[in-house]
A = this chain, B = another copy of it.
Amino acid sequence: MGVFVITSKHIQQLCRIVGRENVLATVEEMVAYSYDATNMWQHLPDVVVLPQSTGQISEILVFANENRIPVTPRGGGTNVSGGSIPIKGGIVLCTTRMSRIIEVNKTNLNATVEPGVVLQDFQSALAQEGLFFPPDPQSSAGCTMGGVVAENSGGPSCLKYGVTKQYVLGLEVVLADGKVMKLGGLTPKNRTGYELMMLFTGSEGTLGIISRITLRLLPATRANKTIVAVFSDVAVAGETVTAIIASSVLPSKVEFVDNWTFEKFRGLLPDNILDSSQVILLIQVDGLPQTVEAEAQQVVDICKSSAREVRVAKDKEEADRYWQARTSHFSDISSRAHTIVNEDVSVPRDKIADFIKISQESAKRYDVPISFAGHVGDGNFHPVVLTDSRDKEHYQRALKCVDEIIETALSLGGVLSGEHGIGLEKQRFLKKAMDPLAIDIMKKIKDVLDPNHILNPGKIWEDMEK
């Protein structure tokens, strides 16, 4: 993309479109829009605009496209691959002031929302109606629905219920030239033309700005039970996951907690067991009360043959304590090091134990601390390497270790990203992880939809040679 300069005339033009109160242009105001939850990059935009309608998004894009100004779409900024960092400057288009839940339709099991609705607020509104939207990334308290779709978010519950793309029924998208396009509809089955909706889902804001979303919902589950199983060995835990799923029970969540987070389970589980174990599996089954009872029993029976300790939470309070211990993993680990590098690979389920063992060897070889947490039921792991970016030598070792972990996942038939996307972080691996023909087609589709490459420039493949 060519050189651009944002002038005060440009800022005035943006103020005319969205109102002065929805334009931020001082460094103090903009710094919060210069990074994301990856915390590995930072770049100030030239201006932040917070549109309040599809029409305003359209006008902003017409203006940006004519002037060849980069536009980086942003929601809550909670993403963890650098996707919402305005690495080329220009405009940050932040959707957080488009936060209306437009409709929740219980009969049709669908809802229509603006992109700036926070996932947790959406979940709460649905819960009041006895409804349920399964994707549950760790960032649910801050992430927004536009980002959930643009990043095709996952989370623990996706084991049973699938990821975001399996819930998108309809999208309104503002194209790079400002035109507003409607895709899909209200019905769960729709075979009208190509699956263009799926192109925008997971496109990380590089193909268009999602301005309205219709999602398929499920009836809220009536009951759930949490089972905790402690294992002395990673491989045995992996085999147990397989046995559970092969027994016709598909738990809503099967999460993996390594001994970095065992501290949080003290008082809940016997110390002597925790002291001599490697892994906790945290399992949730959900459904009708009768179902849950039967499925929990089956999970317990399977775990008992291989685990050192199996416990069913006796009530919601106990279950919540286990899940809080799991949820705290990321912030807990973060507090133990100046810098953490949080990975997001996914491997076939029969390679889980191999993956962990080989990755542990890498960490040993590079002499860096590593913690594994993840959605083990899916084979989706978030290995976290603890380091300190101020200590160049250690940081370089940490990055090399992470590279090796990614190579390991790929060599085991796994994928580069299970949930977080490519963004800035994983571009250098893209050529290894994706067929060059497919990368070429991605580029051509980008040229079709955004010929001037104004939308989220520098992401996914645009700087992959670096």
Interface residues in chain A, defined as those with a beta carbon under 8 Å from any beta carbon in chain B: 105-110, 130, 151-152, 154, 158-159, 162-163, 165-166, 175, 179, 181-183, 185-196, 198-199, 201-203, 207, 218-222, 242, 245-250, 287-291, 293-295, 298, 344, 346-350, 375, 378-380, 413-422, 430, 433-435, 437-439, 441-442, 444-445, 448-449, 460-461
Closest B residue to A175 by CB, please name it. Answer: B437
Among B163, B218, B350, B415, the residue within 8 A (CB) of A105 is: B350
Q: Is the CB of B185 within 8 A of A461?
A: no
* CB-CB nearest 10 A-B residue pairs: A198-B198, A290-B294, A189-B418, A107-B350, A191-B417, A291-B291, A181-B437, A187-B346, A195-B198, A219-B248
A interface secondary structure, majority = loop
Q: Is the CB of B413 within 8 A of A186?
A: yes
Cα distance, A250 to B132, chains bound together (Å): 13
Oligomeric state, in copies? 2
Q: Is the CB of A199 within 8 A of B202?
A: no
Closest B residue to A292 by CB, please name it. Answer: B291
Instruction: Provide the residues of chain B in CB contact with A192, threshold 8 Å.
Output: 415-417, 422, 430, 433-434
Instruction: Provide the residues of chain B in CB contact with A291, threshold 8 Å.
Output: 287-288, 290-291, 294-295
Q: Is the CB of B193 within 8 A of A434?
A: yes
Closest B residue to A198 by CB, please name it. Answer: B198
Closest B residue to A165 by CB, please name it. Answer: B195
Q: Is the CB of A191 within 8 A of B422?
A: yes
Q: Is the CB of B189 within 8 A of A163?
A: yes
Knowing A219-B245, A248-B222, A290-B294 touch, does A437 contact B179 (C-beta < 8 A)?
yes
Closest B residue to A223 by CB, please name it. Answer: B248
Task: List 14 additional A-B contacts (Cβ < 8 Å) besides A165-B195, A448-B448.
Answer: A130-B246, A152-B195, A163-B189, A182-B438, A187-B348, A187-B378, A188-B379, A191-B417, A191-B422, A192-B417, A193-B430, A194-B202, A194-B445, A196-B441
Knowing A162-B166, A221-B248, A448-B441 touch, does A347 contact B420 (C-beta < 8 A)?
no
Instruction: Provide the residues of chain B in CB contact with A295, threshold 8 Å.
Output: 288, 291
Q: Is the CB of B288 within 8 A of A349?
A: no
Among B191, B348, B375, the residue within 8 A (CB) of A420 is: B191
Knowing A195-B152, A219-B248 touch, does A190 contact B417 (C-beta < 8 A)?
yes
Closest B residue to A151 by CB, please name it. Answer: B191
Query: 11 interchain pairs (CB within 8 A)?
Result: A106-B246, A107-B349, A152-B191, A166-B166, A179-B437, A185-B414, A185-B415, A187-B378, A191-B202, A288-B294, A290-B293
Cα distance, A106 to B242, chains bound together (Å): 9
Cα distance, A201 to B24, chains bound together (Å): 42
Cα distance, A105 to B293, chains bound together (Å): 29
Q: Is the CB of A158 within 8 A of B222?
A: no
Minimal beta-carbon separation of A384 from chain B (angstroms): 18
Among B163, B166, B249, the residue within 8 A (CB) of A288 is: B249
Minimal beta-carbon separation of A287 from chain B (angstroms): 7
Closest B residue to A197 by CB, please name it. Answer: B198
Among B166, B199, B347, the residue within 8 A (CB) of A199 is: B199
Instruction: Provide the residues of chain B in CB contact with A220, threshold 8 Å.
Output: 248
